[in-house]
Amino acid sequence: MMFLRSQAAVFLLIAALTATGFVGSQGYVPAGGALAISCTLAVVLAWRLHDGRWWCLIHALFLPAVVVVHQLALPAWYFLGAAILLWLLSGSAIRDRVPLYFSGGGALQVLVERVPPNARLIDLGAGTGRVLAHLHRHRPDLQLSGIERSPLLWLLGRCSLPSAIDWRRGDLRRLDLSAFDCVYVFLSSEPMATVWEKVCSEMGEGGMLISNSFAVPDVRPDDVVDCGDWKGGKIMFWRIA
């Protein structure tokens, strides 16, 4: 939602400058320069509004990508197919405000090193199950589970993950966490308060919440480990008292 608001703000500003004659063939800035201005403004907004600096690159490339696709003059069914594929991949993100993120190699290594021995771990919003597959290879002592709501991502995980991993499709909010020792999430800032409340009410004493990049509001983590990647990612740990 923040992404759409930022891009809408840039569009409205450029539209206003064009309407006043500042941008255009007869204005101070040529029409082609509007794209450069738009990209620059989008990057500035991303720098100010988003925590992850990778958002700057996404905002910078968005409008040029739109222009390129428009110039390709693709058939309408291309866009219908893309919309269907996008819905299958992350349709629930519209309601839950949780986009698809992939845990990087640094985050995976932290998990391999820091998850307690013989723990029962579940990945909430597990995507294609990449985290679980990595832990299965490097931490055979763990009992691993994952839940994913997107039908296509769940299917990809179902086809690729070993049968030893408990792989589920459903809504993480309806899942009972009492059977697990550790919960791993890489979601967004939006659901973290709800996740924390659920973890505290359902997991036993000594349980652990592990979050990639997104903190629980107003609750200081017990430990923070730098992933050492270009995104500046961090893995945060909370112990349930």
What does the pLDDT look like over 92-111, one tens digit per residue? 655 665 666 778 899 999 99
For domain 105-239, which architecture applies? 3-Layer(aba) Sandwich (3.40)
CB of 115 within 8 A of CB of 182?
A: yes
Q: In the chain, what are the domain boundaries?
A: 2-73, 105-239
CA distances from 236 to 26, 107, 150, 166, 210 (A): 54, 10, 25, 24, 6
Q: Report pLDDT for 18.
A: 64
| Mean pLDDT confidence for 114-123 | 97
- Position with higher pLDDT, 91 vs 38: 38
Q: Report pLDDT for 233.
A: 84
Q: Could you tell me which residues come within 8 angstroms of residue 4 by beta carbon, excluding any fewer than 6 positions away?
A: none
Question: pTM for this structure?
Answer: 0.70
Q: Report pLDDT for 22.
A: 55
CA separation for the pair 133, 111 (Å, rounded): 12
Q: Which amino acid is at 113?
A: E
**Mean model confidence pLDDT for the chain:** 81
Q: Tens digit of pLDDT for each residue in 126-181?
A: 989 999 999 999 999 999 999 998 888 899 999 999 999 999 998 888 899 999 99
